[in-house]
Amino acid sequence: MSFFSDLFGRRRESSASSVARPEFLPYIEAPQGERAIELQRVEIRARVTGVHAETSQTLHFHNPNRRALEGELVFPLPDGAVVTGYALDVDGRLVDGVVVPRREARRILEAEARKGVDPGLVEQVQGNIYRTRVYPIPARGGRTVRVTYVSELNVQGDDAGYHLPLADANAAAPIELRVEVVQAPVEPVLSEGLGNLALTRFEERWVAEATLPRGLAGDDLQIRLPRLPPRFTAVERRAGDGAFFCVSARMHDEPGERAAFSPRRVAIAWDASGSRADTRKELELLRELLRRWRALTIDLVVARDACAPAERFVVKDGRCDALLERLASASPDGGTDLEALDLGRAPHPDVEAWLLFTDGLGTVRRGAPALGRARVFCINSQAASHGGLLEHVARATGGCYLNLLRVTPELAAARLCSHQPALRVVETRACSEVHTRVADGRLIILGRLHEPRARVTLESARGDVEELEIEADDRCPEGGLLARAWAGLEVTALALDEQRNADELLALGRRYGLVTPGTSLLVLETLEQFLEYDIEPPTTWPEMHSRWRARTGELATRERGRREKQIETVLGMWRARVQWWDTDFRPKCGRSTVAPARRRRVTPPVATRADASVTGWSDARVSTRGAAPGLELRSSGALYRCSSRPPHDRRSLRC
């Protein structure tokens, strides 16, 4: 499905269908009876570094109706992609969102909505589905939205490619396009069918710019890096955060080393929930596997919100029409509960592997299925999916994850039959927090670099050890693409246990500007909003940021003055009370013949917390050390102590 397919003019039946009907994504909703919201212009900026890319899409919408409308844009992203930026137009300029904890962002949104103001908000629905609400889109007016995300290139053998659907979008609106390829190990190749768009070398990068009038683009944007070298490294420095590296290396296979996987018995877990309407590619993959395996026994488990009893099918001469008919007749319906699927208990002891056909999106519960010792191969053909979860399930069991939107069923079958488990990192030097994955015979390593020379030691499933040297120099460019790609992998790993890792997810989201399961990007419009919710404006809005800093400094000074004045008030009241207790109020006798009365020792008053609370001072406590009680006040790290000596000593007050 193209990214912009059915984006305009398509209406949904209810607001709940935005997640339940992912085949309609992305789209802009228009209320029933209203004309569809129109796309007037698209601006696309794509930057490729190594085997990763950062894409920024700016969409200009127009409302042709006579009243203001609300728009909700829900869109799937490539597997492993993470949203790193969101901006909404405010008074004619694009304002970047700031990272806010998800619950707090939702609370602020609801509070502002009750005031008649609607901030912009983008949040992760599940997996690779993100949602943003745009309101208001004024009558016969427009709004502008910009979304930025980081994704990994599609790797097939020694070729890597970047793909962005343009044909459907260009049929609706003109496109302003800029492409930049940095640190490319080979000369990139641009697809045809995009007018006069061509790559030109400029210093250490390749750049292409063009404006495509409506209807000119006859093909999607595709950038190929053909015939990659056996190994290459990309390094970027991020201000204040060190350097990040990405290594792409060809796996070394000796003749006969990658023996074909030809099982005698496998189990299939088939997700038949309502989110999987089109499974034709998956059935085609299954036919290809049956042709390769020829003869075997298959145990089928159909899963929705609960799992049906296992069914047994026998494959002879590469055919099993009964199995294919059973899967084709499993109508998509109901919710998904992957936690109800126990892959650790196979239907038969002889099962050698599981084939899990699912999009990974849980609608009942969002956890992962129970795993066992058998390998799990995860297969997905839906645009809306939870690729991070499926990648984790496959990697944890020694299997692989196959996305049929990125590879053909024939190639996916070949990968499955020749798959080798990914290498494991056993030691690192001068680098840390390293992530590895294997894509069609190429190893991809992403991590943090602490010194110009580093080493990563890897171990295969057979125990073979290999060392990779990583070198960087002062010429490595400044940038944040690799840093955000690395942070995205960290988020994917931590999000598998969202509750336990909530604090780490929040810290990563704030540091790298990511939308995570625990964070959202929120756009506020006024200085009063930033002050009320104690949120720092984005640095890309310098005027608002400088006003916010000046106002917060003024408020901090005013608060310090108020606190100091309160301290002086409490101290004055304490001095007055001690002086009152030190005063001798007995009447003086005029006759000298009257013997003076013996003075009675009076105990000074004991300060209590209630005495301090009269003035609203909450940081007061009573000191009972020594012979004289007293009062202690604390404010901003400063300590004020008042104590009293016996009343016959006129020097009764010490502060």
What pLDDT score does 202 carry?
Answer: 83
Looking at residue 287, its pLDDT comes to: 94
Mean local confidence (pLDDT), 566-579? 91
Mean pLDDT of the chain: 81
117-126: average pLDDT: 80
- DSSP for 396-437? HHT--EEETTTS-HHHHHHHHHT--PPPEEEEEESEEEEEEE
SS3 content of the chain, % helix, strand, coil (to 5): 25, 35, 40
pLDDT tens, residue by residue, 487-521:
988 888 888 777 788 889 888 988 998 888 888 99
Q: Copy the structure tokens of residue 472.
A: 């960087």
Give residue 611's pLDDT.
44
Mean pLDDT of 352-357: 95
Q: How far apart are CA 8 and CA 5, in angstroms?
A: 8
Q: Are 189 and 142 in contact (CB under 8 A)?
A: no
Partner residues linked to 303 by β-bridges: 271, 307
Q: Which residue has the tokens 């005029």?
A: 590
Question: Worst-scoring range by mean pLDDT, 238-247, 313-322, 328-337, 460-469?
Answer: 460-469
Provide the pLDDT confidence category of residue 165 given band limits of 50, 70 and 90: confident
Q: What is the pLDDT of residues 222-258, one digit of tens each?
A: 899 999 998 889 999 888 888 999 999 887 654 344 5
Q: Where residue 640 falls among pLDDT bands split at 50, 70, 90?
A: low
Query: Which residues make Cβ contacts (< 8 Å) with residue 13, sequence separation at least 6?
Result: none
Token digits for 360? 């990974």
Pick the range with the lowest mean pLDDT from 11-25, 83-97, 257-271, 536-550: 11-25
- In tens, the pLDDT along 474-490 reads 778 888 899 999 998 88
Rounded CA separation 493/507 (Å)? 14
Residue-wise pLDDT for 625-639, tens only, equals: 544 455 565 555 555
Quickly state the pLDDT bin for 642 (edges 50, 70, 90): low
Q: Is the pLDDT of residue 269 over 70?
A: yes
Q: Is 510 exposed, middle or buried (0-12, 13-18, 19+ CB in 10 A)?
A: middle
Encoded tokens for 502: 């909530």
Q: How far apart are CA 578 and CA 563, in angstroms?
A: 23
Of 17-31, 109-123, 127-141, 227-241, the range with the lowest mean pLDDT is 17-31
In angstroms, the CA 432 to CA 249 distance is 19
Q: For the ranges 82-96, 307-321, 591-605, which has the lowest average pLDDT?
A: 591-605
pLDDT, one tens digit per residue, over 199-221 is: 999 878 899 998 888 877 667 88
* Pair 79, 385: CB distance under 8 Å: yes
Residue scoring higher pLDDT (156 or 187):
187
Cα separation, 325 vs 60, in Å, equals: 46
Tokens representing residue 562 in the block: 């108020």
- Strand-pair partners of 471: 453
Asked if residue 356 has pLDDT above 90, the reply is: yes
pLDDT (average), residues 249-270: 75
